[in-house]
Structures are given as C-alpha cells and as structure tokens.
Amino acid sequence: MRAILTDIEGTTTRISSVRDILFPFARRRIVDFVRERHGDPEVTAIFEEVRRHEGDPSLSDAHVVACLLRWSDADQKVTPLKTLQGLIWAEGYARGDLRGHVYDDALASMRAWRARGLPLYVYSSGSIAAQKLLFRHAEAGDLTGLFSGFFDTTIGSKLAAPSYEAIAQSIGASARDILFLSDHLGELDAARTAGLATTWLDRDASPELSGGHPRVSTFADIRVE
C-alpha cells in the first residue's frame, strides 16, 4: 500500500458522536444561525447552492431554510447542508461546546502508519471543513497533522466508483495501491469497483456478510504491507 484512505463516522469515530451529538447540535442552530449570519458571503453561497440544487433560482429564503431543515431531518448527504453544518460546528468547537471523538485504536494505528511514512487521507460525507474541525478539536488534541489530504462529496458520491478513481488520481497513486477503510459495505463495494483495496471496520460484529471485503473489528487488526 502506498496510501490509506479512511472514512470517519463508524470507522475512526463513534457513530453516536456524529448522529447523537453533532447532527442534533447543527439542527438546533440552523434557523438562528442563518438569521444571525444573514448577508454573510458563506451563507449566501449556501443559499444559492440550495436554489441550484432545487432548480429554482427564485426560491425564497424561507423555502431554502425549509429545504435545509428537511434534508437535515432526513440525513441527506447534500453538499450545501454539509457546508452549513460545518460552519455551525466550527462555532461550537470554537466555543468549547464540542469535542471530536477518535477511537484509541484508530489513533494508535494512524500514528504508526504515519511514522512509517504512509500518507493518510480522509473521505467523508461531511464537508472537508467539518472533517478538519473534528480532528483539530479531538479529545486527544490536534490530529490534523496526521493527514495528507481530505475529500468530501464535492468529488462525488461515496457510493460511486468514479469518486474513488478521482481520489486516486488526486493522490497520485494507483488505485490498487490505496487501502480504503469504512464501516459501510456500499462504499467498500464502490471503492473495490474502482480498483482500491478495502477493509470493513465492523466494530459491532454485525451478522451481515462481508461481501468479500476483509473484515476487522478494530484498527489493530489491520495489517498493512
């Protein structure tokens, strides 16, 4: 392997920390945040992106907010929502209301791989800004220095093979020389179709079949040759 690409939620980080803490925190702040930051270029850009996504440039601000709330409630992997969540989380991290969780085994392995000179990359449905916030404000300290790059849905869906092909091209490595780690079999299938090596992080010992992907319950079980 010449590089390791890892998912976040359920892989390096507890699903509950994202699902039960980060998402509700952002959901509660959406209406007040966009009102307080009305006219801010970042918020304006998000609103325009929602209008493009909906195919209606005349969509009112109220309808845009309603779209964002609907997407949040449905946990939609939509880029403008992810961008807005990242801004809200940045505020929460800056105030000390949020801390990023990283499994101890994930941190130990990533530090060991980095010490060996193996570059690490992140690919998550959360925005790149949100990814960096989680690792910068981790309970173990600032971990952003472990990573050589970050990817989000702006490069494509995590369930689509071309996304992983684009990541391999960006990294500058052959797909077969990149190991992708995830807790989601659909993502692993897409990565394998693109030619990447894969490993399923099944921390909950699911009875589900692995789909032919190597299966581990902890980073400590991953052997990178």
The verdict on 41 and 111 lying in the same domain is no
Q: Which of 42, 64, 95 is the last residue of a domain?
A: 95
Give the pLDDT of residue 89. Answer: 92
Q: Which of 188, 136, 172, 167 is nearest to 10 (CA)?
A: 188
State the CATH number of the domain containing residue 52: 1.10.720.60
Which CATH number belongs to the domain containing residue 151 in this structure?
3.40.50.1000
Please tell me the total count of domains within the chain. 2
Specify whether 31 is located in the same domain as 119. no
**What are the average pLDDT values for consecutive 10-residue runs of the chain, which has 225 residues?**
96 90 94 95 96 95 97 92 92 92 97 97 91 94 97 95 98 97 97 98 89 95 90
Are residues 45 and 128 located together in one domain of the fold? no
**What's residue 61's pLDDT?**
96
Task: State the Cα–Cα distance between residues 8 and 19, nearest whole angstrom.
Answer: 12
Q: State residue 225's pLDDT score.
A: 79
Residue 16 and residue 205: Cα distance in Å, rounded? Answer: 16
What domain range is 47 assigned to? 18-95
Last residue of a domain, one of 47, 72, 95: 95
Structure confidence at residue 77 (pLDDT)? 85
* DSSP summary character for residue 21: I
Domain edge (last residue) among 67, 95, 123 = 95
The pLDDT score that the predictor gives to residue 129 is 87
